[in-house]
Amino acid sequence: MFTKADGVFNLSGSASELSPIDPELRIYHDCNDHGKVRGRLLCGKTPAKDVHVKLVDDDFGPDPDDVLETGFTDRDGFFELAGSTAERTTIDPHLIFYHDCNDGSTVGALFSNKKLPLVTLGVLIKF
């Protein structure tokens, strides 16, 4: 038996036994870790549009970081990224972006690497 796309499943059954039955449910699944972030980037009070943002799983040692998703902020500075990866341990999602707030310096002068909780909604980052 397999679950539906949303993870829902139904089970039922019966057996004729001389003694009470001892039902078991065994689930086999190779879990992926998921990260999701949605928010808005501002330069002071001005929306930071077209900023390249990345959601990554920050790994240590010889295991390279996993890029879960990349994207750009919209004209109002909003973005939403989500992704998953198979890991032996829980993931360490980070939001990475480069921007200079159009202050006349070189693009990419400001780098941010923000550690996120496993599920983060409504993040407001000002720079």
Q: Which residues of 109-126 are buried (b: 16+ CB within 10 A; e: fewer)?
A: ebeeeeebeeebeeeebe
Domain boundaries defined on the chain:
33-126
Structure confidence by residue, pLDDT tens digits, 31-61? 557 777 888 888 778 888 888 888 888 777 7
pTM higher than the cut 0.85:
no
Cβ-based neighbour number of residue 94 at 10 Å? 19
The CATH number that domain 33-126 falls under is 2.60.40.3330
Q: Kindly report, residue by residue over 62-110, the tens digit of the pLDDT.
A: 777 788 899 999 999 898 888 888 777 677 777 887 777 766 655 544 5
Owner of token pair 């310096």:
105
